[in-house]
Amino acid sequence: MPLSLARATLLHEWPRFLPGVLSVAFAGILMLVQLGLLLGMFGTVSVLIDSSDAQIWITSPETQSFDESRDIPTSLGALIRSQPEIERSDALRTYDAEWRLESRVRVGVVLVGLDAYSDAPSCPEPMRTALCSRLAEPMAVVVDRAELDKLGAELGALAEINGHRVRVAGISQGLRAIGATYVFASTQTLRAISEAPLPDIDSATFILARIKPGTDLEALRDRLQNLLRPSAYRVWSREEFSTGTQRYWLTESGVGAGFLFSSLLGLIIGIVITSQTLRAVILASLREYATFRAIGVPSSKLGAVVLEQSLWIGIAGATLTLLLSALIVMLAHAFYIPLKLTGWAIFAAVVIGIFTAGISGLLALRALYKVEPAVLLR
């Protein structure tokens, strides 16, 4: 391996560099965990869209997010079924209700009404094997494992929704959302609970459809939108509706700005600590650097030593970030905390770690450039 003053110093005096490495790692983890929580939490607001088997979603025209659609007529289902690419259409209904269990639990829930067969486009993926068909039993409901504590429920428990007795017929996994506690029921059960003198018994919150394999989804969506008039209904592809819902939550809630602010804060703290670390290392070797300046070694070459050190600090810090983040992700999964990390988020954390160290190196260079070899002769 070629002789490198930067590396030799790092290895020989690693405790001096440790605060820098830790602060880079800290800034990275702060960003990554926040981003992971953000992605995880806001990923859950669209969980029913993402886990459905429907590539086409139809909502009321002003809808921006899953939780704020107004009812639309179920007859739309028949209309879109006339398109040859549509394999099956379905309706999904949501209804705000109150869950009671004995006298101790009272929770506001969102009742989700599905067609009670496992092949229904609206049946969420985690419920497809058995749970959707189990909803066919009158007054049967399914709740998510992550909500059991909140609902005080267990499999087979009897509870009341809006005064109607229901039975927990199944427990799903992975259908927890922030902002709403979902309780799944058949369309018939939902109608019974909502005690509809439903003027709009033939209405639903969403009409959705599964398309035949090989269909050009974008073209079909555009065609349906033309058919249904944009002023009356909005036609989405599943991905569009999902990202639209997540974006709406991110911007409307202000959490996005909070995330940016605290990540920036972490970044600044990381840069300050790392640059101070590097500065301290430079100051400790100031006379040696001054000697090299006397010999006639240009500042730029000595600066390259400091930048190489900062790069190694960045790499070490980013590696530590990745290791600790993996640990945190595992912990989060064990505790059903929605923390989700994507490839680009991890890539961004690595880049930001190295960037933090690089900026710190540049800031620390000032100490080096002030070195005057004549100080050695005073």
Q: Which is nearer to other proteins, 249 or 289 (CB)?
A: 289
Closest approach of other proteins to the CB of residue 260, in Å: 40
In which residue are the tokens 């209804």 written?
Answer: 95
Burial annotation 1-10 (CB, 10 A radius, 16+ → b, else e): eeeebbeebb
Closest approach of other proteins to the CB of residue 1, in Å: 10
Q: Cα–chain-centroid distance for residue 183?
A: 22
Of 123-152, binders to other proteins (CB under 8 A) are none
Closest approach of other proteins to the CB of residue 46, in Å: 54
Site string for other proteins, 280-319 (x = CB under 8 A): -----x-xx-xxx-xxxxx--x------------------
Closest approach of other proteins to the CB of residue 6, in Å: 10
**Binding residues for other proteins, total number by CB under 8 A:** 25
Of 1-20, binders to other proteins (CB under 8 A) are 2-3, 5, 8-9, 11-13
Q: Which is nearer to other proteins, 215 or 291 (CB)?
A: 291
Closest approach of other proteins to the CB of residue 28, in Å: 27
Closest approach of other proteins to the CB of residue 359, in Å: 24
Closest approach of other proteins to the CB of residue 29, in Å: 29
Q: Which is nearer to other proteins, 81 or 366 (CB)?
A: 366
Q: CA dist 175 to 35, 47, 336, Å?
A: 20, 6, 11
CA-CA distance, 273 to 20, in Å (whole number)?
Answer: 6
Residue 303's closest CA among 260, 364, 251? 364
Q: Which is nearer to other proteins, 17 or 241 (CB)?
A: 17
CA-CA distance, 186 to 166, in Å (whole number)?
Answer: 12
Q: Is 219 in the site for other proteins (CB under 8 A)?
A: no
Q: Which is nearer to other proteins, 253 or 299 (CB)?
A: 299
Closest approach of other proteins to the CB of residue 17, in Å: 11
Q: Which is nearer to other proteins, 238 or 293 (CB)?
A: 293
Of 60-79, binders to other proteins (CB under 8 A) are none
- Out of 62, 103, 104, 378, which residue is the one contacting other proteins (CB under 8 A)? 378
Q: Which is nearer to other proteins, 104 or 378 (CB)?
A: 378
Q: Which is nearer to other proteins, 225 or 291 (CB)?
A: 291
Q: Which is nearer to other proteins, 58 or 307 (CB)?
A: 307
Residues that bind other proteins (CB under 8 A): 2-3, 5, 8-9, 11-13, 285, 287-288, 290-292, 294-298, 301, 373-374, 376-378
